[in-house]
Chain A
Amino acid sequence: MTDSKLSTFDRKDGQLVIAHVLFAFAALLLGGIAGMLQGMVKGGTITLPANIGYYELLTAHGVLMALIFTTYFIVGFLYSGVSQTLGGRLLPLTKKLGWIGYWLMSIGTLIGVVVILLGKASVLYTFYAPMKASPWFYVALALVVIGSWLSGFGIFYQYVQWRKANKGKLSPLFAFMSVITMLLWQIATIGVAIEVVVQLIPWSFGWVETVNVVLSRTLFWFFGHPLVYFWLLPAYICWYVIIPKIIGGKIFSDALARMSFVLFLLFSIPVGFHHQLMEPGISHFWKYLQVVLTFMVVIPSLMTAFSLFATFELNGRSKGTKGLFGWVKVLPWKDVRFFAPFMGMLIFIPAGAGGLINASNQMNAVVHNTLWVTGHFHLTVATSVALTFFGIVYWLIPVVTGRVLTPRLNKLGIIQTIIWCVGMFFMSGSMHTVGLLGSPRRTAYSTYDDHPDAIMWIPYHVAMAIGGIILFAGVLLIIYNIIALMRAPKGETEYPIGEVSEASEPTPRFLENWKLWIALTVILIVIAYTIPVIDQINNPTPGSPGYVTW
Chain B
Amino acid sequence: MHMHRLEKIWLTAGVSMLVVFLLVLGIMTFGRGIAPPNEHIHRIDPTKVSETPPFDKPQITKIGDNVYKAVMVAYAFGYDPIPMEVPAGATVHFEITSSDVVHGFEIPGTNVNVMVTPGEVSHVSHTFDKPGEYLILCNEYCGIAHEMMKTTLVVK
Query: Which residue of chain A has the shortest Cβ distance to B148 in the bound complex?
Result: A446
User: Shortest Cβ distance from B129 into chain A, in angstroms?
Assistant: 17
B88, CB-defined interface residue at 8 Å: no
Q: Which of A129, A442, A505, A549 has the most CB of B within 10 A?
A: A549
- The listed residue (B45, B104, B152) touching A451 by CB distance below 8 A is B152
Are A131 and B117 neighbours in the complex by a CB distance under 8 Å?
no
A360, CB-defined interface residue at 8 Å: yes
Q: Which of B4-12, B57-65, B66-74 forms part of the interface with chain A?
A: B4-12
A530, CB-defined interface residue at 8 Å: no
B22, CB-defined interface residue at 8 Å: yes
User: Which B residues are CB-close (under 8 A) to A443?
Assistant: 139, 141, 146-147
User: Which A residues are CB-close (under 8 A) to B106?
Assistant: 368-370, 438, 440
B113, CB-defined interface residue at 8 Å: yes
A444-476: contact bitstring with B at CB < 8 Å (1 yes, 0 no)? 111011010110000000000000000000000
CA distance A58 to B101 in the complex (A): 18
Say yes or no: A130-B36 contact (C-beta < 8 A), given A283-B41, A284-B29: no
Q: Which of B116-156 contact A (CB under 8 A)?
A: 116-123, 133, 135, 137-144, 146-148, 150, 152
Are A542 and B148 neighbours in the complex by a CB distance under 8 Å?
no
Q: Which of A310-369 contact B (CB under 8 A)?
A: 310, 356, 360-366, 368-369
A550, CB-defined interface residue at 8 Å: yes
User: Which B residues are CB-close (under 8 A) to A370?
Assistant: 106, 113, 139
User: Shortest Cβ distance from B17 into chain A, in angstroms?
Assistant: 10
Are B147 and A449 neighbours in the complex by a CB distance under 8 Å?
no
A contact patch SS? loop
A22-66: contact bitstring with B at CB < 8 Å (1 yes, 0 no)? 000000000000000000000000000000011100100000000
CA distance A541 to B140 in the complex (A): 19
CA distance A47 to B148 in the complex (A): 16
- The listed residue (B3, B122, B143) touching A550 by CB distance below 8 A is B143
CA distance A369 to B141 in the complex (A): 9
Are B146 and A280 neighbours in the complex by a CB distance under 8 Å?
no
B51, CB-defined interface residue at 8 Å: no
Say yes or no: A283-B109 contact (C-beta < 8 A), given A53-B144, A55-B144, A299-B14: no
User: Which B residues are CB-close (under 8 A) to A544?
Assistant: 46-47, 101, 118-119
- The listed residue (B21, B25, B39, B135) touching A454 by CB distance below 8 A is B135
User: Shortest Cβ distance from B77 into chain A, in angstroms?
Assistant: 8
Are A278 and B43 neighbours in the complex by a CB distance under 8 Å?
no
CA distance A445 to B47 in the complex (A): 31
Are A445 and B37 neighbours in the complex by a CB distance under 8 Å?
no
Query: Which residue of chain B has the shortest Cβ distance to A504 in the bound complex?
Result: B2
Are A214 and B146 neighbours in the complex by a CB distance under 8 Å?
no
Are B45 and A368 neighbours in the complex by a CB distance under 8 Å?
no
B82, CB-defined interface residue at 8 Å: no
Q: Which of A80-88, A232-240, A287-295 forms part of the interface with chain B?
A: A287-295
Q: How large is the interface on A (under 10, 10 to 19, 20 to 34, 35 or more residues)?
A: 35 or more
User: Shortest Cβ distance from A318 into chain B, in angstroms?
Assistant: 16
Are B36 and A213 neighbours in the complex by a CB distance under 8 Å?
no
Are B30 and A360 neighbours in the complex by a CB distance under 8 Å?
no
Query: Which residue of chain B has the shortest Cβ distance to A444 in the bound complex?
Result: B147
Are B38 and A280 neighbours in the complex by a CB distance under 8 Å?
yes
Are B146 and A256 neighbours in the complex by a CB distance under 8 Å?
no
B54, CB-defined interface residue at 8 Å: no
A523, CB-defined interface residue at 8 Å: no
User: Which B residues are CB-close (under 8 A) to A310?
Assistant: 4, 7
Say yes or no: A213-B117 contact (C-beta < 8 A), given A361-B36, A440-B139, A441-B139: yes
Are A281 and B146 neighbours in the complex by a CB distance under 8 Å?
no
A528-544: contact bitstring with B at CB < 8 Å (1 yes, 0 no)? 00000000000101111
Q: Which of A271-304 contact B (CB under 8 A)?
A: 276-284, 287-288, 291-292, 295, 298-299, 302-303
User: Shortest Cβ distance from B133 into chain A, in angstroms?
Assistant: 8
- The listed residue (A256, A295, A541, A547) touching B22 by CB distance below 8 A is A295
- The listed residue (B35, B47, B113) touching A284 by CB distance below 8 A is B35
CA distance A534 to B140 in the complex (A): 26
Query: Which residue of chain A has the shortest Cβ distance to B111 in the bound complex?
Result: A365
A491, CB-defined interface residue at 8 Å: no
CA distance A368 to B34 in the complex (A): 16
CA distance A131 to B100 in the complex (A): 9
Are B10 and A277 neighbours in the complex by a CB distance under 8 Å?
no
User: Which B residues are CB-close (under 8 A) to A437?
Assistant: 108-109
User: Which A residues are CB-close (under 8 A) to B120?
Assistant: 213-214, 279-281, 541
Are B140 and A505 neighbours in the complex by a CB distance under 8 Å?
no
Are A453 and B26 neighbours in the complex by a CB distance under 8 Å?
no
Are B22 and A291 neighbours in the complex by a CB distance under 8 Å?
yes
User: Shortest Cβ distance from B87 into chain A, in angstroms?
Assistant: 21
User: Which B residues are CB-close (under 8 A) to A438?
Assistant: 106, 108-109
User: Which B residues are CB-close (under 8 A) to A190?
Assistant: none
Are A449 and B150 neighbours in the complex by a CB distance under 8 Å?
yes
Say yes or no: A448-B1 contact (C-beta < 8 A), given A214-B117, A437-B108, A438-B109: no
A-B CB contact pairs (8 Å), 26 listed: A214-B119, A256-B1, A278-B36, A278-B113, A279-B115, A279-B117, A280-B120, A281-B38, A284-B39, A287-B36, A299-B11, A299-B14, A299-B18, A306-B7, A306-B10, A310-B7, A361-B26, A361-B29, A363-B25, A370-B106, A370-B113, A438-B108, A441-B139, A448-B137, A451-B133, A542-B47
Which residues of B does A touch, CB under 8 Å? 1-4, 7, 10-11, 14-15, 18, 21-22, 25-26, 28-30, 34-39, 41-47, 76, 100-102, 104, 106, 108-109, 111-123, 133, 135, 137-144, 146-148, 150, 152
Which residues of A does B touch, CB under 8 Å? 53-55, 58, 122, 124, 128-131, 212-214, 217, 255-256, 259, 276-284, 287-288, 291-292, 295, 298-299, 302-303, 306, 310, 356, 360-366, 368-370, 437-446, 448-449, 451, 453-454, 505, 508, 539, 541-545, 547, 549-550
